[in-house]
Structure 1
Amino acid sequence: MSRDFQQTHENLLLCAEKHFLKFGFERASIREICKDASVTNGAFYNHFEDKEALFGSLVDPILQKISEIYSDSVVKHFELAKTNELKDLWSLSEETIQQIIEYVYENFDAFKLLLMCSDGTKYASFLDDVVRREVRETLALINELKSRGVPVKDLEDDEWHMLVHSYFASIAEIVFHDYPKASALKYAHTLAAFFSSGWQRVLGI
Structure 2
Amino acid sequence: MSRKTGNVPEETRAALIKAATEEFAEYGFEKSSLRRICSRAEVTTGALYSSFANKNDLFESVVAPVMEQIFHVIETHFKGERASTGRELLDAQGEKNDIQAVMEILHYYFRHQDVCSILFHHREHPAVSRFFDDLIELLDEQGKHLAKLLGAGEQENPEEAFSEDMIHWFSHLQMDMIFYLIEHEMEEKQAEIQVRNMVRFLRGGLYALVQDGNSLKIYHQK
Tell me the CA shift for residue 189 of structure 1: 0.7
Q: For CA contacts below 8 A with separation 6 or more, give which structure has more relative contact order.
A: 1
1:67 aligns with 2:71: yes
| One-letter amino acid of the structure 1 residue matched with residue 90 of structure 2 | K
Tell me whether 1-10 or 48-57 shows the greater mean CA deviation: 1-10
Residue 187 of structure 1, aligned match among 180, 185, 194: 194
Residue 72 of structure 1 and its aligned partner are, at CA, apart by 1.5
User: 1:49-80 CA distances to partner (integer Å, 9 max, x unpaired)?
Assistant: 22122112222122222222212111211222
User: Are the equivalent residues in 2 in contact too, given 1:25–1:118 (CA < 8 A)?
Assistant: no
RMSD of aligned Cα (Å): 2.5
Equivalent position SS for 2:52: coil
* 1:161 aligned partner: 168
Extract unaligned runs of 5+ from structure 2: 213-222
- Per-residue CA deviation, residues 105-144 of structure 1 (Å, 9 max, x unaligned), is 2222222111103533311343343222111112122224
CA contact (8 A) 1:24 1:119 kept: no
Which amino acid in the other structure matches residue 10 of structure 1? A
Identity over aligned residues, as a percent? 22
- My pick for the range that moved more, 183-192 or 169-178, is 169-178
What one-letter code is carried by the residue in structure 1 that aligns with 2:48?
Answer: F
Matched-pair contact (CA < 8 Å) for 1:128–1:165? no
TM-score where L is the length of structure 2 = 0.79
| SS at 1:58 equivalent | helix
Q: Deviation per CA, 1:155-190: give whole Å up to 9, x if none.
A: 333332223212321222222232111111110011
TM-score w.r.t. length of structure 1: 0.85
Aligned residue-pair number: 202
Cα distance in 2 between the residues matched to 1:94 and 1:125: 26
Instruction: Give the Å deviation of 1:43.
Output: 1.9
2:182 aligned partner, one-letter code: V
Residue number in structure 2 paired with 1:134: 139
What is the CA–CA distance in structure 1 between the aligned matches of 2:108 and 2:176, rounded to whole Å?
17
CA–CA distance in structure 2, aligned partners of residues 76 and 161 of structure 1: 21
* Counterpart position of 1:87: 90
Matched, 1:10 2:46: no
- Distance between the aligned counterparts of 2:83 and 2:99, measured in 1? 16
Is 1:16–1:33's contact at 8 Å kept on the other side of the alignment?
yes
Q: Distance in 1 between matches of 2:123 and 2:31?
A: 11
Unaligned runs of 5+ in 1: none
Partner residue in 2 for 1:108: 113
